[in-house]
Amino acid sequence: MSSPNPNPAAAGSGEKVDQVMQPVLFEIFGEMWKVQARLGQGGSASVYRVSSARSSSAAVKEFLLDAQGGDYGFLKERSVLEDIQGHKNIVTLYGVFTNHNPLGVASRCLLLELLDVSVSELLVRGSSQGHSMWLIQHCARDVLEALCFLHREGYVHADLKPRNVLWSPDDECFKLIDFGLSFKEGHQDVKYIQTDGYRAPEAEVQNSLAQAGLEGGSGCTTAVDLWSLGIILLEMFSGIKLKDTVKSQEWKDNSAAVVDHIFSSNSVVYPAIPVYHLRDLIKSMLHHNPNRRSTAEAALISPFFSIPFAPHIDDLVLLPTPVLRLLNVIDDSHLHNDDEYEDILEDMREECQKYGSVLSLLIPKENPGKGQVFVEYANAGDSKEAQRLLTGRTFDGKFVVATFYPLSAYKRGYLYQTVQ
């Protein structure tokens, strides 16, 4: 059983608030915040993207009262989040507040960092051949870093799945969200954990025993999180959802052989050595015996993480950052005429400032990056709007291709070539 999955997700990924309703407002710390979109809705909570006149956007997770009229769900998630703040790969909790709607009904709320696209969305939007090694490695490392920290603090996430791993455009990393089912190892206070398709074998047994009214032993351990991550990475590599596969008898009899088959089917797309390292990393997470499963700390020293990968151009379209890169815009002939070059710089800055605050603009005259336009916006929201409106536009008779670009690489002057 899954906890409700209200994502602190992307501005573009939530449904618009019903236009026939009165505008929904939250009063947060004495300031009125307007609801821009509902990002997720579950049985016990909903998440909204909100903004105010003075502050940037954020996410509000609003909890409903539980069946007993209490706020256990709110108190539990608040307690976990407050205990694990400060890690770059875990969603930031800004504060907590009580909201009173026009009918006088009070609800407890968390004010959270607003994140962007989820791995679930990446799986839907990605190729049927799977994602690039760069993206898989980036996601795997970020999630393992989060799990190392979480597990050292004694916590089990207990609901790791693609919808609970989100991209942060400003920090350029993936972060974990939704700690509604999390618990201290050895003190499991939730009978039903994890989500179908990502549930470890020992959690399946425990859930079945709980449904039968029987005790499930001493509870699950941090190993259940590694199982879930192994499935997520296998889905990212294969480009297919594995919910039916992991329920099959073939998987139960010999999951390692199924993993081998998936890799042999896709290996022609990738160089052999990285594929073998990724395969072995995933298999180390998918032992049916939790005692044989890799820990997060051990997984991070896999040889897979020592291989440098370049991002595919598709990766830079999928993962927003504050830096926009425009391709197919400028002829080389314009780069070596100083007057023409200055005119182009001025024209591009004027055009790009229509979509947000431009902090810097760079058009390299030589490789790497020759003739490409790099535009640094004040925030990822502005660059996303520019990317949406500039893609497909014509400039000097040519169709513009707009991707994002890692801010950290741009700041270092590292203009690497992407894989086409």
Binding-site members for ATP are 61
Q: Please report how the helices 133-152 and 272-285 are oriented relative to each other, as an axis angle in degrees rounded to 10.
A: 30
Does 159 participate in catalysis according to the annotation? yes
According to DSSP, residue 26 is labeled E
| Residues linked to residue 395 through DSSP beta bridges, in sequence order | 398
DSSP H or E segment with residue 230: helix 223-238
A 10 A CB-CB count for 239 gives 15
Q: Using CA atoms, how far apart are residues 223 and 298, in angstroms rounded to an integer? A: 12
Does 142 participate in catalysis according to the annotation? yes
Using DSSP's 3-state secondary structure scheme, residue 323 falls into strand
Select which of 18, 83, 116, 142 is catalytic: 142
Name residue, tokens 């927003």.
Answer: 320
DSSP H or E segment with residue 176: strand 173-176
Q: Identify whether 201 is preceded by a cis peptide bond (ω within 30 of 0).
A: no
Q: What is the DSSP string of 59-98?
A: EEEEEPP-TTS--HHHHHHHHHHHHSTT-TTBPPEEEEEE
Q: Using CA atoms, how far apart are residues 219 and 208, in angstroms rounded to an integer? A: 13
Using DSSP's 3-state secondary structure scheme, residue 20 falls into coil
Spatial contact of 144 and 92, defined as CB atoms under 8 Å apart: no
Select which of 116, 159, 178, 314 is catalytic: 159
Catalytic residue positions, numbered: 142, 159
